[in-house]
Structure 1
């Protein structure tokens, strides 16, 4: 069987020596082509303009420099994907994860093509209710009804990446929030379970900076509340249209 062409890009800062050594040890003997994608840093020239007012209005606060750099790291990785016509799929992972190198990701991509799915999370940070769609071996493809957050690892097809990238015109949210807006971006919220990729336990400077970020005042909080209500209505309307056909063809639990 001929599988789609697939490559792996690991987003990592050039001076993250310990993390890169751990990635090299993990990916030793991986049968897929992989390479580091040098992560952006705060202050680098960005392909997208920063929109602090839009961040405050839509997200409730201005993004930290690290969040903006993380956003652009993923955008640049998708740009390099678009620039390489030999690839059908890209597996994007950050450098603070461990991935199962024995798993058949190219065969998984072929199955996703057959089901018309162009984006699949390989990890989720938070539990969300889900509809089981179909099986891949002993694992399940689940359709999540809400954003589980995190951009640690995902598979994305060429068409899905192009559609997603075309709607990004400015930095207004963290990249994981942007990826999770399935009712707007068409990246339906599928995840592979059990996960073939897990987050390593290590300190996160990005999360600590988020905790220290200043939240907007009463006026901005009211604007944010209106935005959240609009998102809630739009998301529920989208799910209402999708859940009926998904419910009809979903798989049932196996009896052991």
Structure 2
């Protein structure tokens, strides 16, 4: 297999609202992607970048303030670092349940990619590179997945009824974790996508210490963080928490971990 070797060039990082900006002194280079990176298109032609991220993640490419499909006249994105790696095209992407307000993105199938700037753009062009989770269409029967909250994470709803432990294991077996909520926005987006008519298990429990509620998927507590208990909850009904549909206000409800419920799994970059 032929491997394209790219020389490492000097570059500097400056802060940006959308991530790090790589200000290159020369054309092209090799970069590891952990946090979001924004590359300013060079005014030179035939400029090549090689990107790599963690082995269990993929790469997502968007154009800042623009459209990937329109911008691809200036560059090509190759899926992998082989010199003959296939070119990723925006119109051929199959993305699970993309939100209409997301920027158009292309995704690799592996943790590496090559970007070749073929011609210099006539105006400022910035390419945003992010580490992302692979998002399948589903995890099997009675499930569905989508990029619900942002363009780099993935959430999967599972309508199969299982205990809290069973849903935790099912998520892990599929490379995901049982849901841990970080904000009202995240919760509202999930409810908007799949409704709150089901009582989805989350990873929130107080199994280790009664009254000390921890997200099992992240090991973090809700003290000082986000919480959304339903009215008169928790009421001591159990040690595991599901999204509540018993009241118009919604919220969370503690329940017996042995009860059979649906669940939401999540994958974060």
Tell me, yes or no, whether TM beats 0.5: no
TM-score, scaled relative to structure 2 = 0.25
Point out the structure with the larger strand share: 2
TM-score, scaled relative to structure 1 = 0.26
- Structure with the larger RCO, 1 or 2 (CA within 8 Å, 6+ apart): 1
Point out the structure with the larger helix share: 1
